[in-house]
Structure formats: structure tokens, C-alpha cells
Amino acid sequence: MNLNADFGIRAAVHAARLEWTPSPIPGVDRRMLDRIGDEVARATSIVRYAPHSHFSPHTHGGGEEFLVLDGVFQDEHGDYPAGTYVRNPPASSHTPGSEPGCTLFVKLWQFDPDDRTPVHTDTSALSLEPAPDIPGVEFAVLYESAGELVLLERWAPCISIAVPIPGGLELLVLDGGFTEGGEEFARYSWLRQPAGSTLRAAAGPRGCRLWVKSGHLSHEPRSPAPPKEAARSSSCVSLAVFAVFSRNHQPAASRSRRQSWPPTVRRHKEQPAAPLFFRSFLADHTAWSAQMFQVVEPRRRQR
């Protein structure tokens, strides 16, 4: 499934108007905002747990980020009441559920693969501070890294803003509302704007409270790899060595400037290409594997 899968264009979803879509687990329903993949997917969703519902145990191969919107989310690590912001990094696992029921804003498979930092923050206890150069906006940092900045923001009533977003921006309305592009955004409305655009918006008469992520759309989205058929044993070593080396030596995307909200500047160095000696070794080893397959396979057929 591909839903709002072009990250180079603006996308908006008013989730409160959508019907709930059942998940494979009884009692767990979803409103999908963007998605690349089927059940294992790079996904942004609003998820509802009915009272006494439980999801099956699972491991987060690409990480999980969520904000509890209402109710109490639970797993074997504890209870997470409304307002709790959580980041479960790649390779983490749990068995989620909710006895009283709850609603979550959830993002899957959107972590840096090397990120191993768990986050568990009660946003109701945070103090907000004025945003520099943006009158009427207050914020608190939920998470910050070289590749993204996640904030809780509050906009004063009726203010207008125009903010460049070179790294892209995504937001969810938690309370109140605003207008952008002639479109009204109310509670649980979601907006994603591409890298290099400008956010031009006006807060409503009650102002608004927002979850905001920026800086994360300046590179290609990472998605779960599709399942593949098992390779023949004679070629497994060559493919495994190539996959590991390629992953560790692909050049990083050039990102000379990265601006978040508030603006920050990031610099990244490109990783070196694969050395010549390894390319020679890989070619020799692949040829050897092919020869071994030609010798071993006829013997297997004779058995």
C-alpha cells in the first residue's frame, strides 16, 4: 500500500473525519495518514485501542514513535497516560495493550538505523519557552538529533507565521486549530510539507497546540525491505559480505545545511567509497561461489 507516499509534495489529512480501519488484531483500529508497505510498513497513523484490547508481542525493526492522545496505553514496561511521548528505538520489543482504552499518534520505521536512544516524556510537565524570532509561538523540545527535531508547540490566538522549512515539516493538531493554504486544520488534523517549502499559517481564535517534527524530510524515506526468497547456499557468503559492506560504505547524502524549528545548522561528511582491494576480493569470491555451485549442484541432483 502507498498512501501519501510522495514526500516531495504537500500532504494533509483531517483524521477526525476518517472512518476507522480494523487492524489484524481485534479491538485495534487505525486511521492512516501516510504509509509505504502492508502490515510491515513505514507508516504514520492514529491508532485506537478498545478497552481490554492487546496487540501481539513484536519487535520494532525500524523503531516506533508515539504520542498518547487520550486514555492510557500500557505494556510490560509500564503505563503511559495521555500526553506521554515515547520513542522505542530499532530492535526494541514489547507487548502493547490498554485496559481502559486509548488513542495514539504513531510513527513506524522512521528512525535512524543507528539510533538506540529510548525516550519517555510526560509532556504535561514540560515548560514552554518563546521561540526565537517567531512572536506568539512557544515550544518545548521532545527530541533532537542531527537528522530531526521534535517539538511540542503552542501558537497564540490569531497570529500569522511564515517559516522556511528546508528540511521539511510535519505536524499534528492536538487542540485548537489554524488555517494553511486556505484549509482549516482542527484537532487531529495532520499536515506534511516537503523540504525547501515555507509554512504560511494563521492560528485560529483559540490558538492551537501542536506536535511538530522538522528536518527529517531532506532525505529519502527508509522503508522495510520486502521479503525475498532464500538464496542458494553456494552464493550466500558473497551476497552477505556484499550487503554488509555496501551498507557501511554507501555515501551519505550531501546535507550542507539543515534547518529545524528553531533553526539549526548541521554538517555531514560523506563516507568513502569501497576500496579497490575489496572490490577485487568481492569479484574473485563471487566467481569462486559460482564455480562451487556448478560442482555441488549436479551432485545434489544425482542423489
Give yes or no for a contact between 281 and 237, defined as CB atoms under 8 angstroms apart: no
Instruction: Give the closest residue to 104 by CA, choosing from 71, 55, 69, 75.
Output: 69
Could you give the CA distance from residue 54 to residue 72 in angstroms, rounded to a whole number?
13
The C-alpha cell 497516560 sits at: 81
Top pLDDT among 261 and 61 is at 61
DSSP state letters, 119-172: EEEEGGGPPPEEPTT-TTEEEEEEEE-SS-EEEEEEE-TT-EEEEEETT-EEEE
The pLDDT confidence band at residue 210, using thresholds 50, 70 and 90, is: very high
The b/e string for 148-157 (b: 16+ C-beta within 10 A; e otherwise) is bbbbbbbbee
DSSP state letters, 190-224: EEEE-TTEEEEEEEEEEEEEEEEEESTTSSPPP-P
DSSP 112: -
DSSP helix/strand/coil, 262: coil
Could you give the CA distance from residue 79 to residue 74 in angstroms, rounded to a whole number?
5
Could you give the CA distance from residue 90 to residue 60 in angstroms, rounded to a whole number?
5
The C-alpha cell 568481492 sits at: 282
Domain architecture of the chain: domains with CATH: 2-121 (2.60.120.10), 124-214 (2.60.120.10), 234-302 (no CATH)
Could you give the CA distance from residue 287 to residue 99 in angstroms, rounded to a whole number?
58
User: pLDDT at position 225, please?
Assistant: 61
DSSP helix/strand/coil, 104: strand
Q: State pLDDT tens for residues 168-184.
A: 999 999 999 999 999 99
pLDDT at 255 over 70: no
pLDDT at 261 over 70: no
User: pLDDT at position 38, please?
Assistant: 86
The pLDDT confidence band at residue 282, using thresholds 50, 70 and 90, is: very low
